[in-house]
Structure 1
Amino acid sequence: MKAFANPAYPYAVTRNAAYAKNGMVATSQPLASQAGMEILKKGGNAIDAAIATAACLTVVEPTSNGIGSDAFALVWTKGKLHGLNGSGRSPKSISIDKVREQGNEEIPTHGWTPVTVPGTPAAWAELSRKFGRLPLTEVLEPAITYASEGFPLTPTLAKFWKKAYANFKENLTDDVFKPWFETFAPNGRAPKIGEIWSSPGHAKTLKEIAETNAESFYRGELAEKIAAFSKENGGFLTAEDLAEHQAEWVEPIKANYRGYDVWEIPPNGQGIVALQALNILKGFDFPEKESVETYHKQIDAIKLAFADAAMHVTEDKHMRYTAEQILSEAYAEQRRSLIGEEALVPEAGEPTSGGTVYLAAADGEGNMVSFIQSNYMGFGSGVVVPGTGIALQNRGHNFSMDPDHVNALAGGKRTYHTIIPGFMTKGETPVGPFGVMGGFMQPQGHVQVVMNTVDFGLNPQAALDAPRWQWMKDKIVEVENRFPHHLAQELADKGHQIKIQLEPNSFGRGQIIWRDPETGVLIGGTESRTDGTVAAW
């Protein structure tokens, strides 16, 4: 791998990779990156910086995440990688029959029905408790300040805010959604580029989370407000559901790709999709990046991995096959053999007995964090708890209404989850955190970034800037407008149904921080498709 070189490469069109020695924070919003850097300079470590950045993102990028989000993290510290599952469970009282009694054949996108217990506040508190250096009151201070005093909207943020407002104005007309409009459209419209937006309720909630180490959110005053609003509007979520939530430390899972270990959070996350695709792809040689054979094999490997995930992945205790079985070499060889010269329509195999913000943070002591949190589908459920700024996610939408499916909706269950942080190591040495947010684009982005780095020697910025593709369903593949058109035509000749997508944000938004194993220098890249920034020290 030549990831620490800075090759002359046509896709590094916007900026060069960032280099630093003492610390680095990379995410999609400049103010959030700087908030993390502020905490590093105050004596916090990379974990403190990641929490500060994540909390700040709930304020400065509410189109993608919020206090009512779920979160996952991979933390490298003292020579070991730790995984945190910060996703919440469905309300105990919910069931397929009860959802059908509401007149739904599938789980709604908005309202209280798709709301599961938000896991983000507990994830912040648990990361701080186990690995943080500064008190949560200090770490959340930048976010509290931005929520209280306001901040000016950046261009990409304003674009998606306006789009969400138009959608909600047309479709979310029930009284339950009024607090969303009061919070995020206080002037009867979405705020514009450069306009100052603030949320005093958001600031008060973050302060209470900080002062109680998130206890108030699950077993205190904030929990009472959430549960009361749910009950008032016929929601399934109760105070008992909130009180029973705990963030869970888990053992990360991995695939070895050409001598590098690529790590993900185990199911219920979809990181296993990226690992299975890499397992399939490592059986092929890829002498050049810009080759129809490279793209063809990448796309068909992703198809096969997604087909398996759709059939087999949910909360681990409900899965028929273990992650180890799905990631076995024998099963990878079996799936690899299905990739031929023509585009395939994927079907699940049978192994023998995987709207969001992503951030990466690192400090000069060797700590590194890969962190992701999301409401899902932009603003999530459209439900905001009055006066609190708590915008609730709609992760329950991913449950299946088929009672025989492994991911079938049931009370007290974690659903198949799209958000995934990534991390790479070589032997016992950390290479660093990486991630590409964006629904089902995420494992596809992970595969492309890993291969850009390992197979094709691109530095972090070039690895992110390279044109992306995204498999949608069947043989349909979307490619960016910058994707080489002659290769798009050659893929079409192989049977792929190629569509050129003009919206760059459809292909995810990524961040990377690698650490040079010889010098300890940090090398970072940030997403050129949005307002991203690498804060470096």
Structure 2
Amino acid sequence: MITTNSTSYPYAVTRKATYAKNGMVATSQPLASQAGLDILKKGGNAIDAAIATAACLTVVEPTSNGIGGDAFALVWTKGKLHGLNASGRSPKGISIDALEEAGYEEIPKYGWVPVTVPGAPGAWAELSKRFGKLPLEEVLEPAVHYAEEGFPVSPTLGKFWGKAFQNFKEGLDGDLFSEWFNTFAPKGRAPEVGEVWSSHDHAETLRSIGKTNAESFYRGELAEKIVSFSEQNKGYMTAEDLADFQPEWVDPIRTNYRGYDVWEIPPNGQGLIALQALNILKGFEFVAKDSINTYHKQIEAMKLSFADGEKHITEEQRMKHATEELLSDTYAEERRSLINEEALLPEAGDPVMSGTVYLAAADSEGNMVSFIQSNYMGFGSGLVVPGTGIALQNRGHNFSMDRKHVNALEGGKKTYHTIIPGFLTKDDQPVGPFGVMGGFMQPQGHVQVVMNTIDFGLNPQAALDAPRWQWIKDKKVEVENTFPHHIAQELAEKGHDISIQLEPNSFGRGQIIWRDPRSGVLVGGTESRTDGTTACW
């Protein structure tokens, strides 16, 4: 079965891969990319550039991320890959019992209930302290400038801002959400494309974070404002919840795919799903990219991996099956054996032991950063802390209200997380950072760009531009309008429920930077489905 959902014209791909020697920053927003490049030219390294870019994106792309969101990073420096998990925990005082007593049958998307401790400011400070060259205050200056002086809204940003405004206008009532409208719709509407938007509160908050290395956010004046807002509205967030937050350095996890090591952050993130799918797929041979055999097996492997992810992923120390079990070759072979010529309904296995922004940055010293941060579902919870410009995330929506589920809601717990940075190495040397943002599209995007690169030899821009598919649930699969229609028809004949989408933005937005091991030259690609750009010198 094939259906078509037409909401816009197909995008046109005209870009070529970008080459540079001294430094490169790839993001979904030109002003943010330029901010990172400016920091490189001032003497900062790739880590400084990534922080500057991330902070800038909270201003120039608030529809996808904010100061009140979470972040993850993979950092290659001095011959080693480091992982940073800066996702926050649920408030200690929240529980399934408490929500049920309050009349909730499921975790809402908006308001205080789904708010978890924001980790992004802590990520910036931790990265700066450990690997940066410039003071955090200086690195945040470009973001402060755009927040205070304003910037013209870009086309894709304006489109999503307008959609978010309509959604919130229709669904969010009461004083609890008034600050969101004061901050992001000061004229009673979303800013239009080309219109200049600014936020003095946002600028002051960024200044405070820079001057105090984020201490003010977790244990100072900003923390006091967050807690006061929570207390006034019967939220669960307390001063203790904020003060206890610390970003966690973690050992990245990997799988070897045809001679390349593909790296992800370990759970609570869903990077494990991408690695599981690649583990299954490496047991097949793929002759051509645009063939029914390739797409059918990719989709089937993805379905099986997602089923496992939903059942097993939460905080790693609380998982019933270790990451090593889920990534074992024995388990991959077991899952691979389930794939046949017809579309299957995915079920989780039981192994035994045997709204997001993504950016990539690199410098001439060999440092490379894969960084991702998000509020979730666009603007997040719909809450903005008065007087700060801080839009709070709603990551807690991913918790389960089923007490028996591994990801069941508990106080002081990290939930299953969608945002994932990726990194590629070969023979213990960096190839570079990559990522595709966009909710549950992310591991699917990772698998597709990795295979486009390794199996089919596409350069970074071509790997990103290639038409994408997205498994939704059961046998339902969405494909872009540029996806080969004859293959879509063949997939339908194999039992897939295929829906052709003319809206490109639902298929994720990615960035890639590879380094040539011989010359050190950087080659980058940026997302053609949004306002992305690669800034370099």
How many angstroms apart in 1 are the aligned matches of 2:104 and 2:495? 37
Q: Which residue of 1 aligns with 2:299?
A: 299
Does the residue aligned with 2:446 lie in a helix, a strand or coil? helix
Q: Secondary structure at the match of 2:157?
A: helix
Question: What residue is the counterpart of 1:231 in the other structure?
Answer: 231
Q: Which residue of 1 aligns with 2:3?
A: none
Q: Which residue is equivalent to 1:317? A: 317
Indicate whether 1:487 and 2:467 are aligned.
no
Q: 2:4 aligns to what?
A: none
Deviations 1:32-76 (A, max 9, x none): 000000000000000000000000000000000000010000000
Check the 8 A contact 1:12/1:462 in 2, yes or no. no
- 2:420 matched residue in structure 1: 420
Q: Secondary structure at the match of 1:311?
A: helix
**1:372-421 CA deviation, whole Å, 9 max, x = no partner?**
00000000000000010000000000000000000000000000000000
- The letter for the 1-side match of 2:420 is I
Q: Report matched runs for 1:334-413 at 5 Å.
A: 334-353=334-353, 355-413=355-413
Per-residue deviation at 1:427?
Answer: 1.3
Residue of structure 1 in register with 2:83 after alignment: 83
Distance 1:102 1:65 in 2: 29
Give the AA of the match of 1:232: Q
1:13 CA displacement = 2.9
TM-score norm. by structure 1 comes to 0.97
C-alpha spacing 1:455/1:339, structure 2 compared with 1 (3 Å): same
Is the Cα–Cα contact under 8 Å of residues 12 and 465 in structure 1 kept in the other structure? no
Q: Shift of residue 102 of structure 1?
A: 2.1
1:24–1:37: 8 Å Cα contact kept in structure 2?
yes
Aligned to 2:133: 133
State the partner residue of 1:168. 168
Query: Could you tell me whether the CA contact under 8 Å between 1:68 and 1:119 is conserved in 2?
Result: yes
CA distance in 2, matches of 1:244, 1:116: 13
What is the rounded CA distance, in whole Å, between the counterparts of 1:13 and 1:459 in structure 2? 14
The offset of 1:12, in angstroms, is: 9.2
Give the equivalent residue in structure 1 for 2:185.
185
- The corresponding residue for 2:8 is none
One-letter amino acid of the structure 2 residue matched with residue 339 of structure 1: I
The AA in structure 1 aligned to 2:349 is: G
Cα deviation, 1:274-333, whole Å, max 9, x if unaligned, reads 000000000000000000010000000000000001000000111000110000000000
CA offsets, 1:442-498, max 9 Å, x none? 000000000000000000000000000000000000000110100000000000000
Q: Which amino acid aligns with 1:60?
A: V
Q: Distance in 2 between matches of 1:443 and 1:57?
A: 22
Q: How does 1:443-458 map to 2 (within 5 A)?
A: 443-458=443-458
State the identity as a percent. Answer: 78
Partner letter of residue 248 of structure 2? E
Unpaired segments of 5 or more residues in structure 2? 1-10
Cα distance per residue 1:76-122 (max 9 Å; x no partner):
00000000000000000000111122221110000000000000000
Deviating 4+ runs (over 3 angstroms): none
User: 1:220: how far off?
Assistant: 0.3
The letter of the residue matching 2:245 is H
CA distance in 2, matches of 1:177, 1:500: 36
| 1:12 and 1:466 in contact (8 A); partners too | no
Q: Secondary structure at the match of 1:193?
A: coil
What is the CA–CA distance in structure 1 between the aligned matches of 2:310 and 2:412, rounded to whole Å? 20
Query: How many correspondences in the alignment?
Result: 526
Superimposed CA distance per residue, residues 241-298 of structure 1 (whole angstroms, 9 cap, x where no aligned partner): 0000000000000000000000000000000000000000000000000000100000
Q: Which amino acid aligns with 1:469?
A: W
TM-score in terms of structure 2 length: 0.97
What SS is found at the alignment partner of 2:55?
helix
- The aligned counterpart of 1:477 is 477
| Distance in structure 2 (CA, Å) of the matches to 1:137 and 1:311 | 42
Say what the alpha-carbon RMSD is for the aligned residues. 0.8
User: 2:398 is aligned with what amino acid?
Assistant: N
Q: Is the 8 A contact 1:39 1:48 kept in 2?
A: yes
Q: Deviations over 1:178-223 (max 9, x none)?
A: 0000000000000000000000000000000000000000000000
Match for 1:179: what amino acid?
Answer: E
Q: 1:27, 1:532 within 8 Å by CA — same for their partners in 2? A: yes
The amino acid of 1:21's aligned partner reads K
